[in-house]
Amino acid sequence: MGAVPSYRRLPARTSVLRRTLRRIEALVRLSRPVNLMLIAGTSLSAQLLLWLRGKDFIPDWERWFYMLLSTILIAAGGYWINDLYDQPIDRINRPSRAMWVARAGQRLLITAVLGAWLLATLLAILLPLKILFLHMAAIFTLAWYARFGKRTGLLGNAVIAILTGAVPWEVLLLAERTAYGVVWMVPLAIGFNFVRELVKDAEDLPGDQAYGVRSLPSHIPKSSWHRLLYFLWVGLIFLTFAPAVLHYVLWKSLPLPYLSAALVVTILPLLWGLQEWGNYRLMSQSIKMAMAGGLVAVWML
């Protein structure tokens, strides 16, 4: 018998290519591109603000880029490993995400996590020791959170919130400079992300209860949970005004441009979330919009 004609092998080759592309697409989707862009925007905003507000300060853009790339790789690896451990829960809470995890496959996800974190560590070696230690701590923390921390409730939420606050903080550490707006990025990021983690816990309650994840919404009565969340939500509004209040205390002047911008791009999304109380997916999105708007508002400080 002669050789199999080449046109008969094309479907198999196409199938391999299609599977590869689907796996790549799964990795991209599971890496939370919007969240990664928010991380990049936060870091870039902090770096630019330090540059524009500082006297005779010339940023080291090369080292900043290495630091940002390392941070993004660490975050992407954290999302991948968390989705890998959460696949059974996500079959209940987020079936589409569980589908993408299955499409990527356990072996590819583990390889991607190890590869991302190894490359992130190699990049961090090129940075000051304090940044290297911070990034190594972030890797170990995300690995702990994926395996154990998610089941600790408030502790896990607080840890993740602190890690998000580390994004602008590491820019300050690298530059060894401060700026009023950049300093405020740290508590704002921690506060907003902490509340968002709680909202996501409420959104994920059905699957979490089925698999023994003891989040705060499952610990307390529903009425108490709603009162607490409402208190924290209003607290975010007060936190948004805090930079302006402290600015007045320190310099006896109100940053009216900041107040005007924050009212539109941060407060309004939060009020929108209040109007849709109980719709946790929408509330989570409104917080993310408020966080993105906050990056715009701090430019006015």
Give the domain ranges of the chain. 23-300
Task: Name the pTM for this structure.
Answer: 0.92
215 three-state secondary structure: coil
Residue 130 Cα distances to 179, 221, 280, angstroms: 20, 43, 37
The four Cα atoms 187, 192, 198, 200 give a dihedral, to 10 degrees, of -140
Whether residue 207 contacts residue 97, with contact meaning beta carbons closer than 8 Å, is answered with: no
**What's residue 6's pLDDT?**
43
* pLDDT at position 142: 97
The series of mean pLDDT values per 10 residues for the chain, 301 residues long, is: 44 72 94 96 96 89 98 98 93 92 94 98 98 98 93 91 97 96 97 96 85 82 93 97 97 96 97 91 95 95 93
CATH number, domain 23-300:
1.10.600
Sign, CA torsion 157/139/39/146: negative
Provide φ and ψ at 40, rounded to 5°: -65, -40
Instruction: Classify each residue of 68-95 as buried b or exposed e, where b means 16 or more C-beta atoms within 10 Å of its C-beta.
Output: bebbbbbbbbbbbbbbbebbebbbbbbe
Residue whose C-alpha is closest to residue 42's, from 174, 170, 223, 207: 170
The distance of Cα 122 from the centroid of its chain, to the nearest Å, equals 22
